[in-house]
């Protein structure tokens, strides 16, 4: 039994005394202790070493006190397991030296054995669960198939993922074959994480907003739906599509337990577009954590008032920025813990 189960109650739509709170990328670069490990170990070493991943995952629980932990890992461990080389270059971010550009390239992509290729993630889940000792729930995650395709085809981050979109629109057969391979791998990966002990799953569609409302169901949501269908009876699933306000209505009917909302969609619009019956998560502008702590607390209370305390998980509208002061992150968490309905 998890001692602090507010997060799971909110996912289940139960009445709570206050909403739960966590932050995307909470186990990250804004924490001085994280930076010490970053200076000693490269990015994928941290991901692949269960002891390090566990230490980083638990760090924010001890230091800022959110109501849920999210496993330290990366969405790009999935393409690595699929025979797609991924590097993390300092100052650049993800770099894929051999991006996928043809049908022949897609054929070389494999649907791997998860235990063999991503066993280190499963070990990190088990180790982290032991370290947390039922203090708070643990979230496992994966990128959406579309978001993984964006990196696999573009070869790096991008402001518009033009090469990835061109690939989809000029070679849709190969694009859908790649998306299906990513989907099949992601389902197997997330099911293995569930078996290893995570308490909830989040799907990050970080680049879903790059697609038009017409193309989104074809190239992204169709595949997210497959993942939700495969997992929803086993575990709560959160779907977060950045820039995907136009899809909230379809997402609300997907069987997901909750939907993430970014800061460009107001609480009122998010409730309206999602039909008002599903748990929502978000949507504080990450850059607003630069504001003074007193102002952060005031804005967080206003945000909770607008969403309502039930069927709501307080979070940022995207990941925390690396130079946010720790005391400001703490103010965000404390504001939620201090909240009382008016």
Helix (H) or strand (E) holding 211: none
Q: 263, 318 in Cβ contact below 8 A?
A: yes
Query: What is the C-alpha to C-alpha distance for residues 298 and 304, in angstroms, rounded to an integer?
Result: 10
Q: Residue 67: which of 123, 141, 157, 6 has the closest Cα?
A: 6
Q: Which residue ranges are tagged as binding site?
A: 25-29, 44, 74, 151, 206, 318
Query: What is the C-alpha to C-alpha distance for residues 312 and 254, in angstroms, rounded to an integer?
Result: 18
Encode burial over 198-231: b for 16+ CB neighbours within 10 A, e otherwise. Answer: bbbbbbbbbbbbbbeeeebebbbbbbbbbbbebb
Query: What is the C-alpha to C-alpha distance for residues 189 and 119, in angstroms, rounded to an integer?
Result: 10
Q: Which two tokens stand for residue 329?
A: 């992150």
Q: Which two tokens stand for residue 30?
A: 């804004």
Alpha helices in 158-241 (DSSP H): 162-170, 172-196, 216, 222-231
> How far from each other are the two terminal CA atoms of the chain, in whole angstroms?
31
Q: Which residue ranges are tagged as binding site for substrate?
A: 25-29, 44, 74, 151, 206, 318
Beta-bridged to residue 138, according to DSSP, are: 69
Q: How many CB atoms lie within 10 A of CB 98?
A: 11
């Amino acid at each position: 039994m998890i001692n602090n189960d507010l997060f799971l109650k909110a996912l289940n739509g139960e009445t709570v005394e206050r909403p739960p709170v966590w932050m995307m990328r909470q186990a990250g670069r804004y924490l001085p202790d994280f930076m010490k490990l970053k200076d000693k170990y490269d990015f994928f070493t941290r991901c692949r070493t269960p002891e390090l991943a566990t230490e980083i995952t638990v760090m924010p629980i001890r230091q800022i006190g959110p109501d849920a932990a999210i496993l330290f890992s990366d969405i790009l461990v999935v393409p690595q397991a699929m025979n797609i080389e991924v590097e993390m270059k300092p100052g650049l971010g993800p770099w894929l030296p051999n991006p996928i550009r043809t049908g022949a390239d897609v054929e070389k992509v494999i649907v791997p054995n998860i235990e063999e290729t991503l066993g280190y993630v499963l070990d990190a889940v088990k180790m982290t669960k032991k370290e947390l000792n039922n203090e708070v729930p643990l979230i496992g995650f994966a990128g959406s198939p579309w978001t993984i395709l964006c990196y696999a085809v573009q070869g790096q981050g991008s402001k518009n993922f033009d090469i990835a979109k061109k690939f989809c629109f000029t070679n849709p057969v190969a694009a859908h074959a790649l998306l299906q391979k990513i989907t099949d791998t992601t389902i197997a990966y997330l099911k293995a994480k569930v078996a290893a002990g995570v308490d909830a799953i989040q799907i990050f569609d970080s680049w879903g907003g790059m697609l038009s409302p017409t193309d989104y169901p074809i190239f992204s949501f169709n595949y997210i739906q497959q993942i939700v269908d495969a997992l929803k009876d086993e575990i709560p699933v959160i779907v977060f599509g950045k820039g995907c306000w136009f899809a909230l209505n379809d997402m609300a009917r997907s069987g997901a337990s909750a939907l993430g909302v970014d800061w460009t969609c107001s609480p009122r619009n998010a409730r309206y577009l999602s039909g008002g019956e599903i748990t929502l998560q978000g949507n504080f502008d990450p850059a607003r954590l630069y504001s003074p702590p007193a102002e952060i607390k005031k804005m967080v209370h206003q945000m909770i008032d607008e969403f309502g305390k039930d069927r709501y998980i307080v979070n940022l509208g995207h990941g925390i920025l690396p130079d946010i002061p720790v005391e400001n992150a703490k103010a965000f968490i404390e504001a939620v813990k201090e909240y009382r309905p008016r």
